[in-house]
A = this chain, B = another copy of it.
Amino acid sequence: MRIGELAERAGVSSRSLRYYEAQGLLPARRTANGYREYGEEDLRMVREIRTLLDLGFALEETRPFVECLRDGHEAGDRCPDSLAVYRHKLAELDACIARLGEVRERIAGQLARAAEPRCAFSPEAARRTQRTPP
């Protein structure tokens, strides 16, 4: 199959496929006229790449998975290098989530503080600190 068909079946642009090839992820055989020629196994690799990219992996991080597939494994994550990337990504995610959680709390705090007490001598504050409540 040629690049247009592979692109259509994988739901990506031809441009992306050429880019993956340029990165050494998706080498393509060539027909006599110079056209790229792909097989079903290439479709699987593209799908692996897309799945991982959609999850937030960098293109470079998909390399072990693709190579794992190329080595004939039934899935891209059947190889130690792929699992290492999984673990690394997990740690990254945990750090990122923790950081975002902190930021979230900071902003929520600011929001609560900013919405309420405008000034220590505001009417509300004055009323709260009145010495002779009715």
Contacts and interface: CB of A to CB of B under 8 A. Distances in A.
Interface of A: 55-56, 75, 77-78, 82-83, 86-87, 89-90, 93-94, 96-97, 100-101, 103-104, 106-108, 110-111, 114-115, 118
Q: Chain A contact residues: over half helix, strand or loop, or mixed? A: helix
Nearest to A90: B107
Nearest to A118: B78
Contacts of A77: 110-111, 114
13 contacts: A55-B106, A55-B107, A56-B100, A78-B118, A82-B114, A86-B107, A86-B114, A90-B107, A90-B108, A93-B103, A96-B100, A97-B104, A100-B100
Contacts of A111: 77, 83, 86-87, 90
Contact of A114 (B75, B89, B118): B75
